[in-house]
Every structure is written in C-alpha cells, then in structure tokens.
Structure 1
Amino acid sequence: MDGQRDEGYVVVVNSEEQYSVWPQGRELPAGWRETGERGSRESCLAHIDEVWTDMRPLTLRREMADGTGR
C-alpha cells in the first residue's frame, strides 16, 4: 500500500462533477472539493460507483441537453 491507512480517504468532486478518491489530510488540487464521504479506499470507490452514473463532464451533458453539443 502507499502508506495511507485503509480508513484514510475522502471522496472529492470537481466543477465538472467528476469524482475521485483522495488521501485524507492531503491538500486538495485546485478545482476539487470534498463531498463529505470518508472511509476506506474501497468504501469511497463504492460510493462513487453509486453516485457517478454519467461519466460525461457536466459541460458536455449540458450542451447535449440544450442541443448545442457537437
């Protein structure tokens, strides 16, 4: 393992509604924020599987919904 405890992860999301796991306590990269979900890497990934049902970035989803997608 990479030195992180199994319980030391958070779920993060960016402005395009793309999700990831991040080691708890590490500074987040610009543009990402915590969702409030914490736990083991596996439990965070399971949460992401539940909530991230459309992998397209938010701007693309909006363009396609508006009929402006290319």
Structure 2
Amino acid sequence: MNNEAPTNPFDNENLPFFVLINEQQQYSLWPQITAIPAGWAVVHGPQSRADCVKYLEVNWTDMRPASLIRAELGLR
C-alpha cells in the first residue's frame, strides 16, 4: 500500500483548501498552495478539504451559471 501524498494538490486531502466563486456564481474547490486564478474570489477557507466539500454541498444548490438563470427568467 502506498501512503505517499498525492502529487496532484487537488487530490491531497491533507492540504488546506479554499472554496472559490466566480461572477457566474460557479464554485471551485481550490488548494491553498495553488494561486487563485483571475476572476475567482475566496468565499470559504482555508479549511480542510472535507469542510470545503460540506460548504459546497450546502451552498452550491444550482449548478447553472448565473447568466443562464437570468436568461431563463427573462432578465439581462
């Protein structure tokens, strides 16, 4: 059995994570050691990966981008 940490930081449950959001109200789980990309903002963390996943489960209830929701509602 291999007990080494994953080489991909997105898969490493031992790292602290952020939850990010963009202007389309889409979320992303992001390791703290990785630079936050342009157009995204931190809304939660740094916390454990498991805590961030729980945050996403509670807060990201509609996967549609904000622009699609507005279009479906007849808004601009």
Normalising by the smaller structure, the TM-score range is 0.7 to 0.9
> What do you get for the CA RMSD once the two structures are aligned?
2.1
TM-score under structure 2 normalisation?
Answer: 0.74
Q: What letter matches 1:9 in structure 2?
A: F
Aligned-pair identity (%): 34
5+ unaligned residues in a row in structure 2: which ranges? none
Distance 2:43 2:57 in 1: 14
Distance 1:16 1:66 in 2: 16
TM-score under structure 1 normalisation?
Answer: 0.80
Once the two structures are TM-superposed, the CA of residue 60 in structure 1 deviates from its matched residue by 0.2
Aligned length: 68
Within-5 A mapping of 1:1-70: 1-2=5-6, 4=12, 6-66=14-74
Distance 1:47 1:65 in 2: 27
5+ unaligned residues in a row in structure 1: which ranges? none
